[in-house]
Structure 1
């Protein structure tokens, strides 16, 4: 049962970086890829159908960490408190930019919230990079975390660039990318988390909840896995390349 839940946690964490990673990457690249308001609208519209479905993976990661690894969750929150706060604040700022940018039809209004999307996305990428380095170094926040932040930000930016080149071939970046290229960039985005999981597996397994707790979690959570995966498949099949994003209904 311990191995099963470690596998579930690993799949969810890697899935978050592989899927939500391109949203974060596009947010960082928003001022570069969208030099005009119309260009930024096009970039946001390209990722809009995927954002909420992708964020579900982070919620699932937090839920599994809390339920299957309660002692680890406590140590992470206490030891990496500044980075956890930075992650949450960046997430709120990024999502606020997405939700509010179209609430009023004014260029200054949209430009301000587009800036929030970019700032929040950078905060998410750097905070994740620093957190992964800190976790790998025994809950220690060090200057090396800055390098981790830069590396993760670069990986996610590459993933975002590849995604928009796949979703809108030739229209934003001037390049066209295949589904295979997108899969490769997803692996690049998830690589830092994979490296952490490989090194932290013994520690995480040592903090697993009792078997009775895991059995209850299995009955409560695992039946919802097909729903989450099915929803993700539906989103990708419905909003793939060839469908004009500006004609897709969106809150963003």
Structure 2
């Protein structure tokens, strides 16, 4: 197997890791005003992702860095053509990270409410725009003969791409609801379980339409198999959520997102960014790749460090595996100090 194909697969794996892990992060943030009734319950929800959200974002950084090093032409065209949506995603992630860190710094309700809104918006923007961006990559964008993006921002807001954004939003909300049900106890857990079943139904409708549209446009036999398995995993998630089996239901949405993203990359290969222009040039794993020497050095580095990163992140999830309830939340030290 050529190294260009190997690195295409590795980048696909990195995006699968990002969407499956950061996906429930976004879902928890989006559900903050839906599942929590007071500040203590909001703290419970935030604490479910507190130890892992920043580690989950590392998958995005590594995916971007790997794309830059392995496929520099892909990176350059993608970040120049999708500059505005990617900038909005970056700003949303920055604001969201600040909200997690600064929310508890002052006791005023207005202060916390402002940062809660930042968490919601910071989760909503990337949840939608990542779907829009990937849908456009699959559909193809105007790339001229010089491998430069020749369109505008409005070209990205087509019906197929907007459906992709709604699909990722619905899947992440469902994934987040099941994660909350899996990681909490008490009333929050019951609310999350009640929400999960209709959320699965909405996600299933959107996902089936989007994946069928994708298969009709650029699909292959391999992508069709992945999409069918993704649909079956989502059905399984709905059935197990209805039965109150949060762990299996969460694994179902995890598998759904992983298989759907894998199917998207299978439908894309060997292109990395197809061109919609008659005289344009599509970016492929061949003409967008770095030199063979660069890919060899990267491969050695990946073989050494990837198992270490996976082991460390797996250990983190194991350490913080226990459920959280309102009685585990101590009084805010900031509020106590203010009262004194």
TM-score, scaled to structure 2: 0.69
Q: How far did residue 244 of structure 1 move?
A: 5.7
Cα 1:141–1:28 shift into 2, 3 Å: same
The equivalent of 2:123 in structure 1 is 121
Aligned to 1:17: 19
Q: Deviations over 1:91-128 (max 9, x none)?
A: 11211211111122221111110110001100011111
Q: Aligned equivalents of 2:265 and 2:247: distance in 1?
A: 26
Between 1 and 2, higher relative CO (CA 8 Å, sep ≥ 6) is seen in 1
| Structure 1 unmatched ranges of 5 or more | none
Per-residue Cα deviation, 1:17-48 (whole angstroms, up to 9, x for no partner): 01111001111111101121111111001111
Aligned counterpart, 2:139: 137
1:238 to 314, 319, 322: 319
Give distance in 2, aligned partners of 1:156 and 1:169: 21
1:165 to 173, 181, 184: 181
Aligned residue in 1 for 2:304: 223
Out of 260, 263, 266, the residue aligned to residue 195 of structure 1 is 263
The equivalent of 2:167 in structure 1 is: 151
Flag the structure with larger Rg: 2
Task: Return the match for 2:61 from 59, 62, 70.
Answer: 59
C-alpha contact 2:186 2:325 (8 A) present in aligned 1 = no
CA RMSD of aligned residues (A): 1.9
CA contact (8 A) 1:101 1:114 kept: yes
CA distance in 2 between counterparts of 1:177 and 1:85 reads 39
CA shift for structure 1 position 129: 1.1
Q: How far 1:132 moved relative to its partner?
A: 1.1
C-alpha separation between the residues in 1 aligned to 2:307 and 2:255? 22
Structure 1 residue 101 corresponds to structure 2 residue 103: yes
- Work out the CA distance in 2 between the residues paired with 1:243 and 1:234: 18
The normalised TM-score by structure 1 is 0.91
Shift of 1:226: 1.4
Matched position secondary structure for 2:289: coil
